[in-house]
Amino acid sequence: MSLRFALLAILRVGPLSGYDLQKQFHQSVGHVWHAPDSQIYPELRKMETDGLIEGEEQTRGERGTRRVYHVTDAGERAFLEWMESPLDYQRVRDPAHLRAAYLESATPAAAREFLERHIAHWESELEQFDGELTHIANLSNPMLTRRLAVTPDEDRERTIEFKRFAYEGLAERARVEIEWARRGLELLDRLY
Amino acid sequence: MSLRFALLAILRVGPLSGYDLQKQFHQSVGHVWHAPDSQIYPELRKMETDGLIEGEEQTRGERGTRRVYHVTDAGERAFLEWMESPLDYQRVRDPAHLRAAYLESATPAAAREFLERHIAHWESELEQFDGELTHIANLSNPMLTRRLAVTPDEDRERTIEFKRFAYEGLAERARVEIEWARRGLELLDRLY
DNA sequence: CTCATCATGTAAATTGTTACATGATTCA
DNA sequence: TGAATCATGTAACAATTTACATGATGAG
C-alpha cells in the first residue's frame, strides 16, 4: 500500500513519464521502498483510475509515445492524509536473524559464509546510504534539488534535514547489522 | 519461503500438533518471522504433501481430533540444506524511513506523533527481546530447554550462544530505532 | 452450563516476484 | 548499423493479509 505513496512522493515534485519516474524511483525512494518496473507501471495505471494522478500521452519521435503523469488535487490530498495517518507496522519477517538463531545446525563454514555475506550485503547498503548523505549535504541529489526548487523558503531547511535524518537512520541500521555480524564471526572463532 | 523453515526449526525439536506448534511459534520463532494461524495450518498441509513432515491424526475426547506432526528425514535434510545455502536478501521496504524522508510534508503534530509511535513500537519490541534474552540466560525458555534436552553435550553451548546472539542483534536494532526516533524528536524541536 | 482455550481451517483480496516480451530512438 | 537506453508492459506464480467460520473439550 505504501508503493503508491512512494510514487506520489516523487511525482509531487513535478510531472514525469513512467520511465523517468521509475529511474528517479530507483535512485531515491527506491532505497527505502523497492519495487520492480513490472510493479510500477501497473500501479501508475491503477493510481490513474483511482484519480490520484493523470497521464498525458506524448509523442516521441516518429511513432514513439510516452505517458507523462502529474499528481491531481485528490492525489495531493491523499498523500498529505497518509502523512497525517498513523503508520501501520508490518510484523517482523527477518530471514537473517531467523537463521542466526539456529546457526548451531549449520556447518562452521556455512555459518561463517552466512555472516560474511551479511557484512558484505550491509556494507554495500551502507555505501549507498553514505553516498546519498553526501549528495544531500552537497545539495547534489537531483530529486532533492528539484524538490527544493518548488519549496517555499521557510520549508527548505526542513526538507533537507528530514531527508538527512531518514538516511542517517538507514546508515546507522546498516552499521549495526555489520557490527552484529562481526561479533558473530568472533563468536564462531570462540565456539569452534 | 522461510516460513516452512521457521516451522521446521520448531518441529525438529519434537512432534507437535498444529495448534501447539502455532503457540510455540508465536512465542519463539514468531519474533523473527511472523505468520498468522491462517497461514500456518495450510503451510503444514503443504509441507506434508511435499514430504517434509508427516501428520498423525489423534483422537481427543469423544469426537475431537488433532493432527500431530513430526519431521521426516527429507524434512531434516531440507532444513540442513537451507542452513547451508546462501540467504537471499529481500529488498528494503521500510514504511517508517519512507515517511521520515518526507516529514516536512506532515504537520508538526503528526510528525511528532509518528516519532512517538515509532519509539513506543520499538520499545515494546525491545521489551520482548530483552525478555527472551533473560529466558535464554536462565534457561527458562521452554523451546530452548526442550531443544537442549535432545542436543548432544558438545553442541549445547553453541545452541545457547547462537540464540543469544540472534536476540542481541534484534534488541540492538530496536535500541537503534528508538535512539533514531528520539533524535527525530529533537530535530522537530529545533525546526519548529 | 458457560467460558476459556483447544483445534483447524476457508475464501478473497492484495502484494510482490520472476520471467518474459516488444518495439522505438538516439548516438557513436 | 549496432548498441545503449528509452518506453511500457503481460503472465504466472508465490506469499501475505484480513476476515470469517465452526465446533469440541475441560475446568469451575
A18 CB below 7 A from strand D atoms: yes
Distance CA A125, CA A129 (A): 6
Per-domain residue ranges of chain A? 2-84, 95-191
Count of Cβ atoms closer than 10 Å to residue B175 Cβ: 17
| Cβ-Cβ contacts under 8 Å, A154 against chain B | none
Instruction: Specify the CATH number of the domain B2-84.
Output: 1.10.10.10
List beta partners, residue A100. none
Taking the C-alpha atoms of residue B46 and residue B24, their distance in angstroms, rounded to an integer, is 20
Nearest-5° angle of CA A92, CA B86, CA A119? 70
The answer to whether residue B1 scores a pLDDT higher than 80 is: no
Contacts of A86 in chain B (CB under 8 A): 113-114, 117
Cα dihedral B89→A83→A3→B29 (10° resolution) = 30
Nearest CA in chain A to B176: A173
User: Does the nearest atom of strand C lie within 7 Å of B37's Cβ?
Assistant: yes
Q: Tell me the pLDDT of chain B averaged across its residues.
A: 95
What one-letter code names the amino acid at B176? Answer: V
pLDDT value of position B61? 84
Q: Which nucleotides of C are covered by protein (CB under 7 A)?
A: 6-11, 14-20, 23-26
Of A79, A93, A161, the CB nearest to B33: A93
Q: Specify the pairing of strand A53-60 against strand A64-71.
A: antiparallel
Share of chain B above pLDDT 90, in %: 92
Cα separations (Å) of B188 from A137, B99, B107, B182? 19, 14, 11, 10
Question: CB–CB of A42/A60 below 8 Å?
Answer: no
User: Average of pLDDT values for B85-95?
Assistant: 93
Least confident range of B25-29, B133-137, B187-191: B25-29
What pLDDT score does B98 carry? 97
Burial of A178-187, coded b for 16+ CB within 10 Å and e otherwise, reads bebbeebeeb
CA gap A118, A177 in Å, rounded? 8
Which band of pLDDT confidence, cut at 50, 70 and 90, is reported for residue B160?
A: very high
- What CA–CA distance (Å, rounded) separates B122 from B176? 9
pLDDT per residue of chain A (192 residues) written in tens, 0 to 9: 799 999 999 999 999 999 999 999 999 999 999 999 999 999 999 999 999 999 999 988 878 889 999 999 999 999 999 999 999 999 889 999 999 999 999 999 999 999 999 999 999 999 999 999 999 999 998 889 999 999 999 999 999 999 999 999 999 999 999 999 999 999 999 999
CA A25/CA A12 separation, integer angstroms: 13
Q: How far is CA A83 from the centre of its chain?
A: 16
Q: Report residue B69's pLDDT band, with 50, 70 and 90 as the boundaries.
A: very high
Which chain A residues are within 8 Å of B107, Cβ to Cβ? 84
Joined together, the cell numbers standing for residue A19 give 520511465
Task: Please give residues of chain B from 90 to 119 whose alpha-adjacent beta carbon (CB) lies under 7 Å from any atom of strand C.
Answer: 90-91, 93
B60 touches strand D (CB under 7 A): yes
- Distance, Å, B189 CA → D27 C1': 56
Say if the Cβ atoms of A155 and B114 lie within 8 Å: no
The H or E element that residue A105 is part of is none
In 10 A of CB A52, how many CB atoms?
A: 24
Do B90 and A89 make contact, defined as CB atoms within 8 angstroms? no
Q: Do residue A87 and residue B94 have CB atoms under 8 angstroms apart?
A: no
Share of chain B above pLDDT 70, in %: 100
Where helices occur in A85-152 by DSSP H, the ranges are 95-100, 108-138, 142-149
Per-residue confidence (pLDDT) for residue A48, from 0 to 100: 95
For position B44, what pLDDT does the model report? 96
Cα A79 from Cα B46, distance rounded (Å): 40
User: Measured from the CB, is A56 under 7 Å from any atom of strand D?
Assistant: no
Which residues have a Cβ under 8 Å from the Cβ of B104 and sit 6 or more positions away? A151, A155, A158, A159, A162
pLDDT of residue A115: 98
Tell me how far CA of residue A142 lies from CA of A28, A67, A90, in angstroms: 9, 21, 31
DSSP B83-149: HHSPPPPPPPB-HHHHHHTTGGGS-HHHHHHHHHHHHHHHHHHHHHHHHHHHHHHHT--HHHHHHHH
Is 90 exceeded by the pLDDT of residue B118?
yes
- What residues in B contact A80, CB-CB < 8 Å? 105-106
pLDDT at B60 over 90: no
